């Protein structure tokens, strides 16, 4: 008895990992198709790497003293062979790993993009999940500020294509390793003077990753962070020229930006340009995309020294903006719903539906829920609910006469000519295609 009860208990998904339900499928598809056409328009190629990688890739690639590696990774030992594996928390390291492994850069630079789920063990809240999705680009083998500018322009184009407004660009330069080292000495000295006021995280990072103290979200530390020595003041000519070059291109393309000297990014591998796109419409989780230049990474992961830059955007955060601002066009239902009654009609219905699909129409063929033939009335209810533009109706009588009933279900056609027409089976596809075109044109007026 108890055994039976246990079996019947409902199971739920893992906390912080969401189901994407059919009612949201259109939203995702709208976003993905808009993103893909933007990426194509810049000549980017898709790359798909596995969701699981060796843990070492991320500890080496992201840096030991980062939020991700310190506390957010889903790492486990493969019970069968003892390998240390991790669900990818981000995808730059994996794309770089794959590019080195398959020698993708042998014939010059590459523009790559990916989309897919990432995994971080964070406290779930609005805009912050344990499985979330990122779209990202990696421009591998480009050293100049023109590549930084291009990937930033791509984001602006995407916001425009999606109809999103009010997403603001912040940029900064993290300079080169020597410049960061000089800044670090002064930053540590400054933070030591305020050590009593620092929180746990800041104290822990004081000597390991003091730059991260500057982007603390703790309100109590804002003043200390704001008055700290600025890395940007430590840049020498070369870094300055890169940063100026970027700003010049952004200005020439009318991309507004602000320089945020405290913008440092969570991952260790960045140098020179870093940037974030931020909205104030999502509460605390306002960063929708973030990226920058990571020239040291490819060599650090065993490749030839190669300059590179990229960004990643949080899909869930962008979808929330699209929903809040009603920017998602309505989903189309399918074109035709075929209802049928009687054995001969059912056999015919299959043939008719396949013929309609051959011409490119989207067709739902009624299937009974209980294996019994349902009444026309209940089938028509389903046809209505499906959102189809037309019902095609087949009874044994119709089949004997070589005709089908056609009834407009929605749109202009349904309002104006609501009655059912008998159409010869041989003329059915042409009739429906003409009717679809006519109703689309009416709808455009």
Residues near ligand ATP (CB under 6 A)? 90, 120, 122, 127-129, 132, 134, 266, 285, 287-290, 312-314, 316-317
| Smallest separation (angstroms) from ligand ATP to the CB of 192 | 26
Rg (CA), the chain: 29
Which residues have a Cβ under 8 Å from the Cβ of 401 and sit 6 or more positions away? 422
| Smallest separation (angstroms) from ligand ATP to the CB of 236 | 27
How far is CA 106 from each of CA 42, 139, 293, 303, rounded to the nearest angstrom?
21, 14, 21, 11
On whether 48 is known to bind a ligand per the annotation, the reply is no
On whether 74 is known to bind a ligand per the annotation, the reply is no
Q: Which is nearer to ligand ATP, 136 or 333 (CB)?
A: 136
Q: For 315-367, where are the E strands, in sequence order?
A: 336-341, 363-365
Q: Which is nearer to ligand ATP, 174 or 289 (CB)?
A: 289
Q: Which is nearer to ligand ATP, 283 or 426 (CB)?
A: 283
Beta carbons of 38 and 135 less than 8 angstroms apart: no
| Smallest separation (angstroms) from ligand ATP to the CB of 287 | 4
Name the region of 181 (left: φ>0; alpha: ψ -120 to 50; beta: rest).
alpha
CA dist., res. 249 & res. 275, Å (int):
15
CA dist., res. 271 & res. 325, Å (int):
35
Q: Which is nearer to ligand ATP, 261 or 266 (CB)?
A: 266
CB-based burial label for 107 (10 Å; 0-12, 13-18, 19+): exposed
Q: Which is nearer to ligand ATP, 93 or 187 (CB)?
A: 93
Q: Which is nearer to ligand ATP, 44 or 132 (CB)?
A: 132
| Smallest separation (angstroms) from ligand ATP to the CB of 265 | 6
On whether 134 is known to bind a ligand per the annotation, the reply is yes
On whether 86 is known to bind a ligand per the annotation, the reply is no
On whether 269 is known to bind a ligand per the annotation, the reply is yes
On whether 120 is known to bind a ligand per the annotation, the reply is yes
> 302 phi and psi, to 5 degrees?
100, 5
Q: Which is nearer to ligand ATP, 288 or 404 (CB)?
A: 288
| Smallest separation (angstroms) from ligand ATP to the CB of 274 | 10
Other Cβ atoms closer than 10 A to 376: 17
| Smallest separation (angstroms) from ligand ATP to the CB of 285 | 6
On whether 56 is known to bind a ligand per the annotation, the reply is no
| Smallest separation (angstroms) from ligand ATP to the CB of 51 | 15
Q: Which is nearer to ligand ATP, 16 or 342 (CB)?
A: 16
CA dist., res. 54 & res. 31, Å (int):
31
Q: For 371-419, where are the E strands, in sequence order?
A: 390-395, 403-408
Comparing every residue's Cβ against ligand ATP, the nearest one is: 314
Beta carbons of 172 and 260 less than 8 angstroms apart: yes
User: What SS3 class is residue 54?
Assistant: strand
Q: For 159-318, where are the E strands, in sequence order?
A: 168-173, 258-259, 271-278, 287-293, 308-314
| Smallest separation (angstroms) from ligand ATP to the CB of 320 | 10
For the annotated binding site, the residues are 90-92, 120, 134, 138, 265, 269-270
- Binding residues for L-histidine, as ranges, are 90-92, 120, 134, 138, 265, 269-270
């Amino acid at each position: 008895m108890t055994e039976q009860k246990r079996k019947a208990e409902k199971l739920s998904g893992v906390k912080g990992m969401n189901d994407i339900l059919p009612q949201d499928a259109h939203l995702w598809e709208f976003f993905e198709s808009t993103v893909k056409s933007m990426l194509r328009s810049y000549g980017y190629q898709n790359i798909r790497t596995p969701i699981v990688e060796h843990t070492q890739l991320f500890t080496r690639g992201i840096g030991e003293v980062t939020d991700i590696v310190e506390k957010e990774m889903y790492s486990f030992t493969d019970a069968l062979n003892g390998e240390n594996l991790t669900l990818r928390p981000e995808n730059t390291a994996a794309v770089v790993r794959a590019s080195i492994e398959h020698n993708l850069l042998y014939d010059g630079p590459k523009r790559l993009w990916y989309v897919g789920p990432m995994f971080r063990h964070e406290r779930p809240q609005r805009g912050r999940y344990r499985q979330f999705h990122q779209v990202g680009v990696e421009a591998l083998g480009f050293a100049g500020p023109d590549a930084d500018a291009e990937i930033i322009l791509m984001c602006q184009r995407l916001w425009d294509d999606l109809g999103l407004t009010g997403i603001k660009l912040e940029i900064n330069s993290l300079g080169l390793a020597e410049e960061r080292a000089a800044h670090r000495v002064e930053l540590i000295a400054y933070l030591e003077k305020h050590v009593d006021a620092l929180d746990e995280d800041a104290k822990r990072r004081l000597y390991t990753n003091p730059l991260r103290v500057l982007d603390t979200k703790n309100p109590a530390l804002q003043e200390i962070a704001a008055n700290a020595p600025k890395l940007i003041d430590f840049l020498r000519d070369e870094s300055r020229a890169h940063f100026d070059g970027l700003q010049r291109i952004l200005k020439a393309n009318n991309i507004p930006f602000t320089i945020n000297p405290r913008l440092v990014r969570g991952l260790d591998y960045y140098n020179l340009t870093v940037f974030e796109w931020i909205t104030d419409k999502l509460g605390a989780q306002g960063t929708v995309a973030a990226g920058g230049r990571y020239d040291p990474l490819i060599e650090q992961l065993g490749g030839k020294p190669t300059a590179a830059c990229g960004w990643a955007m949080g899909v869930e955060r962008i979808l929330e903006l699209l929903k809040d601002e009603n920017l998602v066009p309505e989903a189309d239902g399918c074109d035709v719903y075929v209802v049928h009654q009687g054995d001969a009609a059912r056999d015919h219905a299959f043939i008719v539906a396949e013929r309609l699909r051959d011409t490119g129409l989207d067709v739902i063929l009624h299937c009974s829920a209980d294996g019994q033939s349902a009444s026309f009335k209940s089938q028509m209810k389903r046809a209505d609910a499906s959102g189809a533009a037309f019902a095609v109706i087949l009874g044994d009588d119709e089949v004997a006469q070589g005709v089908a009933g056609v009834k407009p279900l929605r749109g202009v056609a349904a309002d104006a000519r609501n009655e059912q027409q008998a159409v010869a089976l041989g003329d059915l596809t042409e009739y429906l295609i003409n009717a679809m075109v006519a109703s689309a044109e009416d709808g455009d007026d």
